[in-house]
Amino acid sequence: MAPACLVPSGRRAGTVLRLADGPHGCAGRLEVLHSGRWGTVCDDAWDLRDAAVACRELGCGGALAAPGGAFFGEGAGPIILDDLRCRGNETALRFCPARPWGQHDCHHREDAGAVCDGSPQLRLVAGPSRCSGRLEVWHDGRWGTVCDDSWDLRDSAVVCRELGCGGPRQPDPAAGRFGWGSGPIWLDDVNCVGTEASLADCPAAPWGKHNCAHNEDVGVTCSGPFRVRLADGPNRCAGRLEVWHAGRWGTVCDDNWDLRDATVACWELGCGKVRPRVGKTHYGPGTGPIWLDDVGCLGRETSLSDCPAGPWGKHNCDHEEDVGLTCTDLEERVPRSRASLSRSAPLGRDGKARDPKPPGPPGDLPRTGNGGVTQRNGQFRPEPANEK
């Protein structure tokens, strides 16, 4: 019997998709929102025809590849779809035959991904890597620059997170460091809180409205593709802390872990501030490697990659000591579409004239020592790993 199409009675008309943990918004692990939760798609029967439908639905053009085998890393939470069998000409995945929602015989190591030929909304150009350069945004069919008026580390943090490039480096590069752009200056007076998932969620002047020249073009330098997540919790801002290294997710030991470390982790995840610490195994022991031990943040870093720690994989711990973390998630935040950047005047989240920016990355919280750990001068960051 052929699988039924995914249009059960009473279902709303749209299916919400995203591509996660890829280099930009048009490549990554395919995730689907169903019954209020994000989940993944199994790669059983997954091919270029299925990816083509997903890319089209996401507004990302056509499909270049349909990688399986958790090419972009293993997801968390439910596996929503299995045995998708699109013809390739459908306008949305919900019109493709598949098993019923949530029924599968898969593991997250079989999570499906897609690489589309559409352009990402952001890029860093004229720098030494894709995670460092002059910031450009795509609008109205053209790339343009961003003016540095009111720009600070909170805005850079959002850009780095959206690009999958970790946290911003301190201090931010001076305007024009990566050369002057050409063409339109699309954005001015960007005013992120710092926890937004996308620059599209930040208040700004209307598209193309500015009082700048290209010598004020914003440059951003990020720490690199350092990845963290919270697993097995009730939402993305609570769970067991895991970091990606050498192609695998692993945990963090709680030796020397305190509020300063948790503060940095919550900030990097875009999850606001840390809630009072939960028990060290509140979210259960992890599996696989224990990647980090003796983390010693000051509390003002924008990424865990900037904090001293023991060498990768060196520890005296077991998984009963895995760090658990609960962040505030800034629940009052109301996401906006990219069109929200096209308003007549910069507004706050409540639609009123915005107040000065809230405090950004936490201030210096000095430790009396570093727990016997030596600062590794940037070597904490994972070397380029084959995540395929």
- 216 and 131, same structural domain? yes
Could you give the 3-state DSSP secondary structure of residue 186?
strand
The verdict on residue 182 lying in a domain is yes
Helices and strands in the chain: count of H runs, count of E runs: 3, 16
Domain count, the chain: 3
User: How far is Cα 220 from Cα 267, in angstroms, rounded to an integer?
Assistant: 18
Could you give the 3-state DSSP secondary structure of residue 305?
helix
Q: What is the pLDDT of residue 347?
A: 31
Q: What is the pLDDT of residue 113?
A: 93
User: How far is Cα 315 from Cα 10, in angstroms, rounded to an integer?
Assistant: 52
Cβ atoms of residues 93 and 34 within 8 Å: no
What 3 state SS string does 91-125 have? CCHHHCECCCCCCCCCCHHHECEEEECCCCCEEEE
257 lies in which domain range?
228-326
Question: The pTM is what?
Answer: 0.45
**Amino acid symbol at 227:** R
- 202 and 336, same structural domain? yes
> Is the torsion defined by CA of 57, 58, 62, 64 positive or negative?
negative
Half-sphere exposure of 170 (CA within 13 A, CB side): 14
What CA–CA distances, in Å, run from 225 to 36, 132, 217, 229, 385? 29, 11, 23, 13, 10
Phi and psi torsions of 73, nearest 5°: 95, 155
User: Which residue, of 274, 296, 326, is where some domain finishes?
Assistant: 326
User: How far is Cα 59 from Cα 50, in angstroms, rounded to an integer?
Assistant: 15
The verdict on residue 85 lying in a domain is yes
User: How far is Cα 45 from Cα 302, in angstroms, rounded to an integer?
Assistant: 41
Query: Which pair of tokens denotes residue 119?
Result: 């352009």
User: How far is Cα 183 from Cα 385, in angstroms, rounded to an integer?
Assistant: 36
User: Which residue, of 73, 99, 116, is where some domain finishes?
Assistant: 116
**Amino acid symbol at 346:** P
The verdict on residue 363 lying in a domain is no
Cβ atoms of residues 22 and 64 within 8 Å: no
Name the DSSP class of 183: S
The verdict on residue 24 lying in a domain is yes
User: How far is Cα 189 from Cα 205, in angstroms, rounded to an integer?
Assistant: 6
Q: What is the pLDDT of residue 50?
A: 94
The verdict on residue 248 lying in a domain is yes
- 199 and 129, same structural domain? yes
Helix, strand, coil percentages (3-state) for the chain, rounded to 5, are 15, 25, 60
User: How far is Cα 166 from Cα 307, in angstroms, rounded to an integer?
Assistant: 13
**Amino acid symbol at 158:** V
In a 10 Å sphere around its CB, with 0-12 CB exposed, 13-18 middle and 19+ buried, how is residue 34 labelled?
middle
User: Which residue, of 326, 354, 373, is where some domain finishes?
Assistant: 326
- 166 and 245, same structural domain? no
Q: What is the pLDDT of residue 300?
A: 82
The verdict on residue 388 lying in a domain is no
- 286 and 255, same structural domain? yes
- 337 and 192, same structural domain? yes
Q: What is the pLDDT of residue 374?
A: 27
- 93 and 61, same structural domain? yes
Helix residue ranges per DSSP H, the chain: 48-57, 153-162, 259-268
Query: Which pair of tokens denotes residue 165?
Result: 């490039």
Q: What is the pLDDT of residue 225?
A: 64
User: How far is Cα 72 from Cα 87, in angstroms, rounded to an integer?
Assistant: 24
- 168 and 216, same structural domain? yes
- 246 and 104, same structural domain? no
The verdict on residue 279 lying in a domain is yes
What CA–CA distances, in Å, run from 47 to 43, 52, 85, 370, 387? 8, 9, 8, 50, 20
- 297 and 233, same structural domain? yes
pLDDT by residue for the chain (388 residues), tens digit each?
344 443 332 222 345 788 888 766 788 899 998 887 889 999 999 999 999 999 888 777 788 889 999 988 898 889 999 999 999 888 788 889 999 988 999 999 999 999 887 656 788 888 776 778 899 988 777 789 999 999 998 999 888 877 777 778 766 666 667 889 888 999 999 999 887 877 888 899 998 999 999 999 999 988 766 678 888 888 888 899 998 876 678 999 999 999 999 998 988 887 888 886 554 447 889 988 999 999 999 888 877 877 888 888 889 999 999 999 998 875 433 333 333 333 223 333 233 333 334 334 444 443 333 332 222 223 333 333 333 2
- 140 and 176, same structural domain? yes
Nearest to 118 by CA among 9, 252, 228, 23: 23
**Amino acid symbol at 372:** G
Half-sphere exposure of 301 (CA within 13 A, CB side): 24
In a 10 Å sphere around its CB, with 0-12 CB exposed, 13-18 middle and 19+ buried, how is residue 130 labelled?
middle
Residue at token pair 């270049």: 64
Q: State the CATH number of the domain containing residue 136.
A: 3.10.250.10
The verdict on residue 94 lying in a domain is yes
- 142 and 67, same structural domain? no
